[in-house]
A and B are shown apart, each in its own frame.
Chain A
């Protein structure tokens, strides 16, 4: 069956360190992968998108990698801050069309400890 797994339900990290979150998928061949941030009581907010032919994408302190052979994406937050504490979701578009139908992982709750 098709599955999207995010490495752990919760991740605690010390302020200033790099947080690394993992998204693994099976039985998909996604055209692109997105990462979202969700704060308690709010809707997800888009962060980054990476396409199947891209290995890496950066935006300020965020970096995403995409390995279609391993079927895995890594999401890094460098120099983490307490304000980065949130749940992070990965999402796959397996159709690669303008329809933008996304399949979401269950999320990883990140806590950055001051």
Chain B
């Protein structure tokens, strides 16, 4: 069965360190998204990609970057982790060209920045 996975599931890091969160999907979807979820804010879009070599900034992109070298993976990098980036991060994918198409979410990564 197709799926979307994230790793690690939990991560503790220190302020200033670079951190990369992995996202891998086997749906063969061109659209991929990264969100963060915080109490009182819901899911907020960080970055998204419509295909290989395409990346776009979302609502809360400062301090984050992504790269898309193949269809399956969209890693999220925190260039210099800050305590404000402590959150739960979700990756999602969807089928392009299908207006209203559902997004398929990964299980999430809980990141703590000390």
- A43, closest chain B residue (CB): B105
Most buried by B among A44, A49, A51: A44
Q: A43-B105, A89-B43, A104-B42 are in contact. Are A99 and B100 (CB under 8 A)?
A: no
Interface residues of A in 29-82 (CB under 8 A from B): 31-32, 34, 41-46, 49, 51
Q: Say how far A8's CB is from chain B's closest CB, in angstroms.
A: 13
Report the Cα distance A32→B48, complex, angstroms: 20
Q: A101 to B48, Cβ gap below 8 A?
A: yes
Count A interface residues, CB 8 Å: 27
Q: A107 to B42, Cβ gap below 8 A?
A: yes
Report the Cα distance A51→B99, complex, angstroms: 10
Q: A42-B107, A42-B108, A43-B106 are in contact. Are A98 and B99 (CB under 8 A)?
A: yes
Report the Cα distance A49→B105, complex, angstroms: 16
Chain B hits for A105, CB < 8 A: 42
4 extra A-B contacts, CB within 8 A, seeds A43-B108, A49-B100, A98-B101: A42-B107, A46-B104, A96-B99, A104-B42
Q: List 10 A-B contacts (CB under 8 A).
A: A41-B107, A44-B43, A44-B90, A51-B100, A89-B43, A98-B97, A98-B98, A99-B96, A105-B42, A106-B40
